[in-house]
Amino acid sequence: MNHRPAPLTPDVLVIGAGPAGLTAAAELARRGSGHVLVVDREQRAGGIPRHSDHTGHGVRDLRRVLSGPAYARHLVGLATAAGAEIRTRTMVTGWADDDTVDVTGPDGRYRIRPRATVLATGARERPRAARRVPGDRPDGVYTTGQLQNLVHLHHRPVGTRAVIVGGELVSWSAALTLREAGCTPALMVSQYPRAESYAAFTAAGRTLLRLPVATRSRVTRVIGTDRCRAVEIEHLDTGRRRTVACDTVVFTGDWIPDHELARGAGIDLDPGTLGPLTDTALRTSRPGVFAAGNLIHPVDTADVAALDGRHVARQVIDHLSGRPRPAEGVRLLAEAPFRWVAPQILRPTDPAPARGRLLLWTDSFVRLPKVTVRQDGRTVARRTLAWPAAPGRVFRVPAGLLDGVSTTGGPVRIGLDGARSGA
Ligand SMILES: Cc1cc2nc3c(=O)[nH]c(=O)nc-3n(C[C@H](O)[C@H](O)[C@H](O)COP(=O)(O)OP(=O)(O)OC[C@H]3O[C@@H](n4cnc5c(N)ncnc54)[C@H](O)[C@@H]3O)c2cc1C
């Protein structure tokens, strides 16, 4: 007979021990929410920052600047000191029913049936295969996550000369890791008219790393039988192709949420982010299941994910105390050039989104974006923001622009008005 142990019944199950999950757990435990259990499939808790071994973490949540690994350790310390239990090497593999998940860990397979669940499973970069880049299938082709795992967690060598595909913040992080591993970043390739990262990063990166950026370009072929030898690059406007010698290629950015569990549960997904559809209280479509971090906005910085965790904890506490879910809300929709907005539902009596910001992703540069909010044919708000909208990083919009929205009206469209697209 197949004997299955009785399910664990914590008050809250947090799936994913990255900045979002750990901060949610710390806040929940600190506020006396009973047994808070965090599970993570990795050997150690901390999420992506464990292997992002450079500074720049913790500014908004901790008001200090730490390296990724130090930041990860700090968040683990806060969660455990507050009383949360963390189980690593423990993967949630699916759902047994609406309230119960299947888990595999060092003690075998078992089930967890919490009173509330927080999905904080993060996002990953699309690997080469998912980007449909043709050519050979040699060694030496990575995503940034794979590269940093190899270098910082497994201390393994990479090649000697690399091409980086993408010009986002994470692409510069890849450049730093390559340099640390003794591999020269030789070229960065971006499809946009300029690297997507902040101008300051691009200028510093170009100067300090002496890394040229091939803009309006894409990789059309990977060349090499056993080991990568070169990549072929095409200029998007002229169609001119050239071959660049390299033994390492790093595909950066192009994020997809780790949404398999949400999808497996039949939770509604947003067609823009491909993460769970959430309201400003970070509820998903399944009662008692919440979501936070890069799973719902692929991707923002670690401190923003952590502050999502703090925000969701308060909503989970309301849920545990029996506060009913508010009435249906209105849908927030992104209009071009925006690809997505998060969160996507505004309900009456709900709190403002985390940090009082809506997060959006743009497909083109706009230097002086005039954001417009429209509902049922009328303009609810229009405001020119002082910061540009740029591909490859989240564009943050004050949630106060939604103040005039009717929560009983039609969908709310967030777009740009009359703004000039910068090349
Ligand atoms: C290369 C790189 C460099 C970066 N540099 C910076 C920087 O300098 N500063 C900064 O602020 N941000 C930086 N970021 C962004 C930052 O790392 C992320 O924003 C942050 O880690 C997101 O936190 P999260 O908790 O949402 O997800 P993650 O950190 O991705 O954590 C998700 C966790 O969920 C776990 N998980 C997933 N599925 C399951 C499952 N089924 N069962 C159990 N566990 C599961 C994963 O193992 C993982 O540990 C960088 C990101 C990258 C990739």
| Residue 15 Cβ < 6 Å to ligand 1 | yes
List pLDDT tens digits, range 361-412: 998 889 999 999 999 999 999 999 999 998 888 999 999 999 999 999 999 9
**How do beta strands 241-245 and 184-189 pair?**
unpaired
Cα–Cα distance, 283 to 267 (Å, whole number): 11
| Residue 144 Cβ < 6 Å to ligand 1 | yes
Residue 95 parent element (H or E):
strand 91-97
Distance between Cα 263 and ligand 1 center (Å): 19
Q: Is the peptide bond before 271 cis (omega within 30 degrees of 0)?
A: no
Q: Is the pLDDT of residue 137 over 70?
A: yes
Cβ atoms < 10 Å from Cβ of 249: 24
| Residue 13 Cβ < 6 Å to ligand 1 | no
Distance between Cα 397 and ligand 1 center (Å): 23
pLDDT band at 53 (very low <50, low <70, confident <90, very high): confident
Q: Is the pLDDT of residue 421 over 50?
A: no
Distance between Cα 388 and ligand 1 center (Å): 25
Residues with Cβ within 8 Å of 154's Cβ and at least 6 positions away in sequence, in order, are none
Residue with the smallest CA separation from ligand 1 atom 20 is: 302
| Residue 69 Cβ < 6 Å to ligand 1 | no
Identify which has the larger pLDDT, 55 or 418: 55
| Residue 91 Cβ < 6 Å to ligand 1 | yes
Q: Is the pLDDT of residue 201 over 70?
A: no
Terminal Cα distance for the chain, rounded? 67
Helix axes 302-320, 68-82, angle to 10 degrees: 20
What letter represents residue 60's amino acid?
R
| Residue 121 Cβ < 6 Å to ligand 1 | yes
- Tell me what pLDDT residue 423 has: 36
Residues with Cβ within 8 Å of 163's Cβ and at least 6 positions away in sequence, in order, are 186, 187, 188, 189, 219, 231, 244, 246, 248, 249, 250
User: Which atom of ligand 1 is found nearest the CA of 56?
Assistant: 8
What letter represents residue 151's amino acid?
V
Helix axes 169-180, 199-208, angle to 10 degrees: 20
Distance between Cα 286 and ligand 1 center (Å): 24
Residues of the chain with pLDDT > 90, as a percent, come to: 85
List pLDDT tens digits, range 103-126: 999 999 999 999 999 999 999 999
List pLDDT tens digits, range 231-282: 999 999 999 999 999 999 999 999 999 999 999 999 999 999 999 999 999 9
Mean pLDDT calculated for residue range 134-146: 96
Distance between Cα 260 and ligand 1 center (Å): 16
| Residue 217 Cβ < 6 Å to ligand 1 | no
Mean pLDDT calculated for residue range 152-162: 93
Closest Cα to residue 340, out of 281, 386, 299, 293? 299
List pLDDT tens digits, range 5-41: 899 999 999 999 999 999 999 999 999 999 999 999 9
Give CA separation, 73 vs 17, 58, 77, 298, in Å: 11, 12, 6, 23
Task: Give pTM, 2 decimals.
Answer: 0.93
Mean pLDDT calculated for residue range 295-304: 96
Q: Is the pLDDT of residue 70 over 60?
A: yes
Distance between Cα 147 and ligand 1 center (Å): 14
pLDDT band at 128 (very low <50, low <70, confident <90, very high): very high
Residue 86 parent element (H or E):
strand 85-87
Mean pLDDT value across the chain: 93
Tokens standing for residue 142: 């990575």
CA angle 300, 304, 305 (to 5 degrees): 80
